[in-house]
């Protein structure tokens, strides 16, 4: 298994500002993912952040808006830049050690006013 923590757990931000979300894993993992869950919706993959390579973004998500860092095998950050109310969502960090089970952090609940 994997124990994942995220900071902050929730935040209320003003439009036009940026927020950096931290993801810490209790042990080394190769595969790390960032997801967004808009209110009442399913999870949408933002990007894959494997250590040692640039993050790979899904269609509809760009690096300028969602820059990601992955400095080591236990830590990653996702920044939500120049926020608008449409960015109000839960942002989830997720990891997988093998090709099998995937684990999720508790999420960061973001409200943009």
Partner 1 sequence: GIQVEQSPPDLILQEGANSTLRCNFSDSVNNLQWFHQNPWGQLINLFYIPSGTKQNGRLSATTVATERYSLLYISSSQTTDSGVYFCAVEQGSNSGYALNFGKGTSLLVTP
CA 16, 53, 30, 106: dihedral to nearest 10 degrees?
Answer: 0
* Interface residue with partner 1, options 27, 38, 41, 82 (CB under 8 A): 41
CB 87 within 8 A of CB 13: no
Report the chain's terminal Cα–Cα distance, integer Å. Answer: 37
Q: How far is the CB of 41 from partner 1 (least distance, A)?
A: 8
Q: How far is the CB of 16 from partner 1 (least distance, A)?
A: 26
Under the binding rule (CB under 8 A), the answer on residue 6 touching partner 1 is no
Under the binding rule (CB under 8 A), the answer on residue 14 touching partner 1 is no
Burial letters 47-59, b for 16+ CB under 10 A, else e: bbbbbeeebebee
Under the binding rule (CB under 8 A), the answer on residue 97 touching partner 1 is no
Which among 13-21, 63-71, 75-83, 103-111 is the span making contact with partner 1, rule CB under 8 A?
A: 103-111
CB 91 within 8 A of CB 35: yes
Residues in touch with partner 1 (CB under 8 A): 31, 33, 41-45, 48, 50, 56, 58, 90, 92, 94, 96, 99-104, 106-107, 109
């Amino acid at each position: 298994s994997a124990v994942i923590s995220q900071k902050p757990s929730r935040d209320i931000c003003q439009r036009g500002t940026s927020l950096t979300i931290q993801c810490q894993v209790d042990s080394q993992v190769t595969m790390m993912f960032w997801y967004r869950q808009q209110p009442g919706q399913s999870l949408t993959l933002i990007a894959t952040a494997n250590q040692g390579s640039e993050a790979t973004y899904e269609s509809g998500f760009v690096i300028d808006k969602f820059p990601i860092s992955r400095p080591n095998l236990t830590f990653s950050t996702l920044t939500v830049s120049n926020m608008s109310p449409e960015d109000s969502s839960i942002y989830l960090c997720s990891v997988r050690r093998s090709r099998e089970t995937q684990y999720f952090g508790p999420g960061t609940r973001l409200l943009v006013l």
